[in-house]
Structure 1
Amino acid sequence: MNKLFLAASAAMALAAPAMAQTSDSSPFTGPRVELHGGWDWLRARTHTYDGVTDTRYTDHNNDGFVGGQIGYDYAIRPTTIVGVFGSYDLSNNKECGTAGTVTSCFKANRNIEAGARVGEVFGGNNLVYVKGAYVNGRFGANSSDSATNTYLSDHEKQDGWRAGVGIEHALSKHAYVKAEYNYSRYDRFHGQLGPEDVSLRLNRQEALGGLGLRF
């Protein structure tokens, strides 16, 4: 029994440095918070139909945005990281388009994101990852028809999905910087403007940089 105890103790003593090294070599685990900001590119596609004429129009605009994120990451292997996250962003991006006599505008307000990511560590302090998320955006929308002098205005919350890719660099065990690209697609807006059925779809691309802390 004593020999078995001594052998187990020796094995644990030999394994402890390796376990500590594995833990210390992965600065991408645990809870985190971050601030980020970047460039927001919106594309609006307008489709109007009055029973006779089918008109389509596409335009785009870009502006800046800021936001924050909280998340939690876990190592399923020494170099493979999985995590969940949630973010809240604010944008003042606005996009308008004209189709026939109808002018329609979108204004991006706030965006909520909840998703997951998986990444691979390389070089000890770099993480390349891909992500997928549910998004919910709040948009201001208005349309006016110069032919019928009608005007429609509303704020809508639209669901959608987001896919992205990024790279994170650990400055230390508790601080990191990152760069990320996102593509988002939202559900279609529908409305009636006089005799015309109006349909608007919004796509979004983002390039952002962030600074975060781990605990």
Structure 2
Amino acid sequence: MHILLLVPAAAAAAFLAAAPASAQGVRAEIHGGWDRVSGGGHDDGIVYGVGLGYDHAIGRKLTLGIEANADESSVKECQSAGTVRACAKAGRDLSVAARLGHKVSETGTLYALAGYTNARVTGSLIAGIVPTATRFSDTLDGVRVGVGYEQAISGKLYAKAEYRYSNYEGGTERHQLLTGIGVRF
């Protein structure tokens, strides 16, 4: 009896492995790239993180989905004046966004996203002839929009390229160019 259950399961697994990746379902990815944070001045660095999402097909060409991302950044900016030195560092960035995709080929999807983002900024102020350090941490709420392209590689694997723009409270902005690789379940 168990052998009768294994035959259809093996056939389904072989079909899924050979079929082009679908632009729908649960997905998980790692991504990284260029990060620019500005608010008074600007500095460039590297952003890297993970994402989890779900896309649902609407007809033959459209997908509608939701995604959540957790990212870290290497962006750090310091300024000095006399005996005062101030440094700020971009920390973790959490976001959730809706995503609308359009299949431009059997294995490629062009998409746009919009949602909420929350970034942490940490810093220090060192002042005085005998240096005294003051540390601070703050979180900034904002909106995120972006566009990207996702290409199936083989089976359930995909690669992506994406541009993100985030606008946070207090006049802080962020531009990011990312590439990533992921898997659909």
TM-score range, shorter chain: 0.7 to 0.9
- 8 Å CA contact 2:21–2:158 kept in 1: the answer is no
* Cα distance in structure 2, aligned partners of 1:27 and 1:93: 35
TM-score normalised by L of structure 2? 0.79
* Cα distance in structure 2, aligned partners of 1:98 and 1:74: 51
Structure 1 residues 59-93: Cα deviation after superposition (integer angstroms, max 9, x where no partner): 21111121000000001111001110101011121
Query: Greater Rg, structure 1 or structure 2?
Result: 1
* Cα distance in structure 2, aligned partners of 1:63 and 1:74: 34
Match in the other structure for 2:159: 177
TM-score normalised by L of structure 1? 0.69
What value does the CA root-mean-square deviation take over the aligned residues? 2.4
* Cα distance in structure 1, aligned partners of 2:65 and 2:77: 34
Would you say how many aligned residue pairs link Structure 1 and Structure 2? Answer: 165
Q: Which amino acid aligns with 1:154?
A: F
Which runs of 5 or more residues in structure 1 are unaligned?
Answer: 1-23, 46-58, 189-200
Within 5 Å, which residues of 2 pair with 1:168-207?
168-188=150-170, 201-207=171-177
With over 3 angstroms needed to count, the CA separation of the structure-2 counterparts of 1:122 and 1:183, relative to structure 1, is same
* Cα distance in structure 2, aligned partners of 1:143 and 1:117: 40
* Cα distance in structure 1, aligned partners of 2:60 and 2:47: 35
* Cα distance in structure 2, aligned partners of 1:34 and 1:94: 26
Within 5 Å, which residues of 2 pair with 1:115-130?
115-130=97-112
* Cα distance in structure 1, aligned partners of 2:72 and 2:35: 10
Which runs of 5 or more residues in structure 2 are unaligned?
Answer: 1-18
Identify which range, 31-40 or 94-103, moves more after superposition: 94-103
